[in-house]
Amino acid sequence: MILERLVQSVGNTPQVRLRSLEAEAPGVEIWAKLEWFNPGGSVKDRAALSIIQDALARGLLVPGGPRALLDSTSGNTGIAYAWIGAALGLKVSLVMPGNVSQARKQLTRFYGAEQIFSDPQELSDGAQRLARKLAKEQPERFFYADQYSNPMNPAAHESTAREIWDATEGRVTHAVLGVGTTGTAMGTGRGLRRRNPLVQTIAVEPEEPLHGLEGLKHLPTSIVPDLYRPGELSRTLRVSTEAGWEMADRLRDREGLLAGHSAGAAAVGALQIARELSAAGQGGCVVCVLPDRADRYLPAPTGLSAQPPLSAQPRAAP
Number of domains composing the chain? 2
Q: What are the pLDDT digits (tens) for 37-70?
A: 999 999 999 999 999 999 999 999 999 999 999 9
> Is the domain of 21 the same as that of 113?
no
Query: Is the model's pLDDT at 317 over the cut of 70?
Result: no
What are the strands of the beta sheet with 235-239, ordered from one edge? 15-17, 28-34, 284-290, 174-178, 200-206, 235-239
Tell me which residue range forms the domain holding 122: 44-151
The CATH number of the domain holding residue 60 is 3.40.50.1100
Does a structural domain hold residue 309?
A: no
Query: Are 30 and 160 in the same domain?
Result: yes
Evaluate whether residue 58 is within a structural domain. Answer: yes
Helices and strands in the chain, H and E counts: 10, 11
Distance CA 200, CA 176 (A): 9
- Same-domain status, 221 and 257: yes
Q: Tell whether 278 and 165 lie within a shared domain.
A: yes
pLDDT of residue 299: 64
Please tell me whether residues 55 and 120 are part of one structural domain: yes
One domain for residues 291 and 172: yes
Would 238 be classed as within a structural domain? yes
Q: What is the mean pLDDT of residues 78-100?
A: 95
Same domain flag for 161 and 23: yes
Residues 103 and 235 in one domain: no
CA distance linking residue 22 with residue 7, whole number of Å: 35
The verdict on residue 317 lying in a domain is no
Mean pLDDT computed over 253-262 = 96
Q: Which residues pair with 69 in a beta bridge?
A: 92, 143
CB 101 within 8 A of CB 126: no
Give, for 32, the enclosing helix (H) or strand (E).
strand 28-34
pLDDT tops 80 at residue 1: no
Examine residue 33 and state whether it is found in any structural domain, yes or no.
yes
How far is the C-alpha of 275 from the C-alpha of 125, rounded, in Å? 34
User: 112, 130, 151: which is the final residue of a domain?
Assistant: 151
